[in-house]
Chain A
Amino acid sequence: MKRRDFFKKGLSAGIIAGTAITFGKYKNLFAAHTLPPEDAYDLVAVKGGEPVEMFDKAIESLGGMKSFVKPGQKVLVKPNIGWDAVPERAADTNPSLVGRVIEYCFNAGAKDVYVFDNTCDQWNKCYKNSGIEKAVKDAGGKIVPGNNESYYREVEIKEGKKLKKAKVHELVLDSDVFINVPILKSHGSTKLTIAMKNMMGVVWDRRFWHRNDLHQCIADCSTFCKPDLNIVDAYNVMKANGPRGVSVDDVVQLKSLVVSKDIVAVDAAATKIFGLEPDDIPYITKADEMNVGTKDLSKLNINRIIM
């Protein structure tokens, strides 16, 4: 482990240093390129289309995937693949959406796109039966196991109140771009699981969270795991018996999608779509208080698209 880290870090440090020296004088050129437009939306909400179409609209209004993924970058796409369930059960992120996100990443020039989840059910059955494994492979991405502690490295969470350190999957730490693709679902213990709750799938020891104030740990983790983009799948939504669900009877079709860089805002918007208020969900309130993002949607520049 240590030796590998050393090589990796050494190598990336070298590349960064080299790139900085080489492109130093063109710095302004790069900056101009990455600067967001004046009227950039903070959040996009889409409704009434198929998952893939809705994402097309959403990403277009955010300036395309190239605003998030640069050529040659290593991208991590993190859906919710927690359960061994078929897509109709809406226990896992819609596979077609995951596939589409990966395609966009490659079109933007991504070198590699990785996908994993630290699942609740037997991981390889989840990957297979959720349809996500196939979607990832078809789109040219790499599906990576998250089932073993050896993939996780301990990090310090400086702003954490309860969760002060955690073992985080190496892909979260080593990727250039981190795209969070959760699904909106009801949840027995936290009422809802959306984007912040999806971060429980990038850490190893979830039992610690459950023992030590679950809501606070979720907010704490979001101070460290900061996705560059959050894409909430609210097409088929599990309205009852979440997060696992019992049957398709738990699912209601809401045909919605919410996209934002702000993980708290995206959770707040999805909560409202579900029919609850952000303050009903303690972790959203806590994360807002800790300045992870904002739950107050009135402060944001929102693009609302009804298809």
Chain B
Amino acid sequence: MKFHALKKLRVIISLLFFLLTAFLFLDFTNALSYKAVNIILFLQFVPSALLFVNLLSYTAIGFLIVIILTLLFGRIYCSTICPLGTFQDIIIYLSKKLKINKRFTYLRKYNWLKYSILIVTVTTFLFGNIVLINLLDPFSNFGRIFSNLIRPVYLFANNVSVSVLELFDCYYLYPVNLKTFVLFTFIFSFLFLIMIIWMAIKGGRIYCNTICPVGTLLGIISKISLFRISIDESSCNGCWACSLTCKAGCIHGGEKKIDYSRCVVCFDCFSSCKLDALKFKIAFRRKKKLIPPKEPNNNRRKFLITTGIFSLSLTGLAFGKNKIEDFRKTNIPENKQHPVCPPGSLSIENFTTSCTACHLCVSACPTQVLKPSFLEYGLIGMMQPHMNYFKSFCNFDCVDCSEICPSGAILPISLEEKKLTQLGKVNFIKENCIVETEGTDCGACSEHCPTKAVYMVPYKDNLVIPEINQDICIGCGACEFACPTKPFKAIYVDGNPIHTKAKKPEKEILNEKIDFEEEFPF
């Protein structure tokens, strides 16, 4: 039948979105331009919505288009655009092929649970706490899985290929060592991966229909969508075949009814119906709203209780956010008061309230200075990236992270602007410095400083020692990274909670007249 083609179309488009998105999180060569990245991620719901809030620009209306698409055709976001959705479909496909689980069945609804999660997520977000979005957003979870679990494997495979090619004197590829491993994010992503695989094998799109706030929100909209899959009751003999193929578990074969809030319009059911009783068409007759038929009062009570508990527990976290400035333990000799957030993020507060920790910037950063945090930003900022100057530094002529951030946590910033944006300030501990302790020249910090906020001045015994000028420091961390002292650095950057403007480095006028006819000085 003609409807069968719809499934093929859905599979092709969804694989395209899946592969492109996955590639973005794996790629370390920045092969795609930021414009291509922005196009690929344009329709990702949560990042787009956050970007819209941050920018209020037509460039971020992807989520509105998703809403319109949902109003027209139902939850096609969930079946084609969402990379985590397609990831589950791949798991489901494999589990069928490997005969782990061959059939699904109609599942009962957990409306109280999914609506509680949605409401708590939205409410806490409105109060400036992004942690639930962070933990539940399907795009960000997909990003974390690929960035934290699969990327290391990808890099390893690359490095093996490099060694092999090197045997043949071919230096076409280059090796990359992972500098961004964080145990906590690794474990979190791993557990999430196990959970989603288990759920997908057990009951298909359980995550999408009970936990995912995006799925729930689009589910509400898809109840009134224009086009819907419907069962022609006169042709249907109630054989349940469609119910058994439905990975959303939303078709009740006996009642010949489809729960549209859960249907992800994957079109899998069409091929199962031998009587061609399924149609994808404009729904003329609006069925009455699907009020949960059994124990409505009980559900409502559960809903209220859960919402209450969630809200209470999260308000605590929201308050914790304000204490971020005191959070860093001071038992480290470098005495850093604040973490450093990337250029374009404006302030720690702005960053931690907009970042969904998808780790796309972590994957894209050429120097790998962006690293997922553990508690650097406090509890609410868990897994959001920070600048790790111990392992790397921010390349002066680079704004890659600001160009690709899909949620606007790192806003676009021009190179000129970035070069005058002070992320933090340099601090010098003379007692730790090689020149002082060893009595030999070093100056690694000053060498690497792009603005000469760290410069060398004469010191005893014909040596030179660093001196700092915080006014022109942009906090890129090059000095801290280069400093060779162990275990504590002699020079370090302390983050600015709110980014400020650095002064322009003063120009030195070199009035040298060169006479090219003159003899050599030797």
Partners in one complex: yes
Q: Which of A122, A187, A243 has the most CB of B within 10 A?
A: A122
**Cα–Cα distance between A142 and B169 once the two chains are bound (Å):** 10
| A293 contacts partner chain B, Cβ-Cβ < 8 Å | no
Q: Looking at chain A, what size class is its interface with the partner chain?
A: 35 or more
Q: Chain A interface: which of B37-45, B197-205, B317-325, B433-441?
A: B433-441
B520: which A residues are within 8 A, CB to CB? Answer: 45, 47, 269, 272-273, 304
B464 interface residue per 8 A CB criterion = yes
Closest chain B residue to A142, Cβ basis = B171
Contact partner of B395 (CB less than 8 A), chosen from A7, A112, A121, A208, is A121
Contact B366 A189, beta carbon cutoff 8 Å: no
Residues of B within 8 A of A298 (CB): 522
B128 contacts the other chain (CB 8 A): no
The reply to whether the CB of A34 lies closer than 8 angstroms to some CB of chain B is no
The residue in chain B whose Cβ has the minimal distance to the Cβ of A280 is B462
For window 161-192 of A, CB contacts with B under 8 Å fall at: 187-190
Contact residue among A7, A244, A250 (Cβ-Cβ distance under 8 Å from B447): A244
19 intermolecular pairs with C-beta atoms under 8 Å apart: A4-B166, A122-B366, A125-B395, A188-B446, A188-B464, A189-B441, A189-B456, A207-B482, A210-B442, A210-B484, A212-B440, A213-B438, A214-B442, A215-B440, A216-B440, A250-B510, A255-B516, A306-B517, A306-B519
Q: What secondary structure prevails in chain B residues at the interface with A?
A: loop
Task: Tell me if A139 is interfacial: C-beta within 8 Å of chain B.
Answer: no
B449 closest partner in A (C-beta): A244
Asked if B398 and A190 make an inter-chain contact with CB atoms under 8 angstroms apart, the answer reads no
Q: How many residues of B contact A (CB 8 A)?
A: 50
Q: B442 to chain A: which residues have CB within 8 Å?
A: 189, 210-211, 214
Which stretch in A23-31, A65-73, A143-151, A219-227 binds the other chain? A143-151
Which of chain A's residues have a CB closer than 8 A to the CB of B521?
Answer: 272-273, 275
Give B494 Cβ to nearest chain A Cβ, in Å.
Answer: 22
Among the listed A85, A142, A207, A272, which residue makes an inter-chain contact with B444, where contact means beta carbons less than 8 Å apart? Answer: A207
**Residue among B163, B397, B464 facing the most chain A CB atoms (10 A cut-off):** B397
CB distance from A143 to the nearest CB of B (A): 8
Query: Does A190 lie within 8 Å of B441, measured CB to CB?
Result: yes
Residues of chain B within 8 A of A147, CB atoms compared: 174-175
| A64 at interface, CB cutoff 8 A | no
A32 to B30, CA, bound (A): 53
Docked CA distance A213–B450 (Å): 24
A241 pairs with B452, CB closer than 8 A = yes
B contact residues around A261 at 8 Å (CB): none
Pairwise interchain contact A145-B175, C-beta atoms closer than 8 A: yes
A210 touches B444 (CB 8 A): yes
Contact across chains for A189 and B175 when beta carbons are under 8 A apart: no
**A residues within 8 Å of B by Cβ?**
4, 7, 45, 47-48, 84-85, 112, 114, 120-122, 124-125, 129, 142-145, 147-150, 187-190, 206-208, 210-216, 239-241, 243-244, 246-247, 249-250, 252-255, 268-269, 272-273, 275, 282, 297-298, 302, 304, 306
B443: A residues at CB distance < 8 A:
187-190, 210, 214
How far, in angstroms, from A207 to B445 measured CA to CA in the complex? 11
Of B174, B177, B446, B522, most buried by chain A (CB within 10 Å of CB) is B522
User: What's the minimum C-beta distance from A76 to chain B, rounded to whole angstroms?
Assistant: 12
Partner of A150, one of B171, B175, B434: B175
Please report the C-alpha to C-alpha distance between residue A241 and residue B438 in the assembled complex, in whole angstroms.
24
Interface residues of B in 368-425 (CB under 8 A from A): 395-398
Q: Which residue of A lies closest to B522 (CB)?
A: A297
Give residues 275-297 of B contacting A (CB, 8 Å): none
Q: Please state if B516 and A48 are interface contacts (CB–CB under 8 Å).
A: yes
User: In the complex the two chains form, is A243's CB within 8 Å of B175's CB?
Assistant: no
Does A253 lie within 8 Å of B514, measured CB to CB? Answer: yes
Which residues on A sit within 8 Å (CB–CB) of B507? 247, 249
A145-B174, A190-B443 given; 7 more Cβ-contact pairs under 8 Å: A211-B438, A246-B450, A249-B510, A273-B520, A297-B522, A304-B519, A306-B517
Question: In the complex, are the beta carbons of B438 and A252 less than 8 A apart?
Answer: no
Q: Is there contact, CB below 8 Å, between B395 and A214? A: no
Tell me whether B484 and A208 are in contact (CB under 8 A). Answer: yes
Interface centre among B175, B398, B438, B484 (most CB of A within 10 A): B484
CB distance from B482 to the nearest CB of A (A): 8
Which residues from B are CB-within-8-Å of A144? 171
A122 to B395, CA, bound (A): 7
B485 within 8 A of A: yes
Decide yes or no whether B451 CB sits under 8 A from chain A. yes
Shortest CB–CB separation between residue B467 and chain A, in angstroms? 11
Closest to A149 in B: B177
Contacting residues, chain B, for A125 (C-beta < 8 A): 366, 395, 397-398
Interface residue B238 (Cβ < 8 Å from any Cβ of A): no
Inter-chain contacts of B163 with A (CB < 8 A): 150
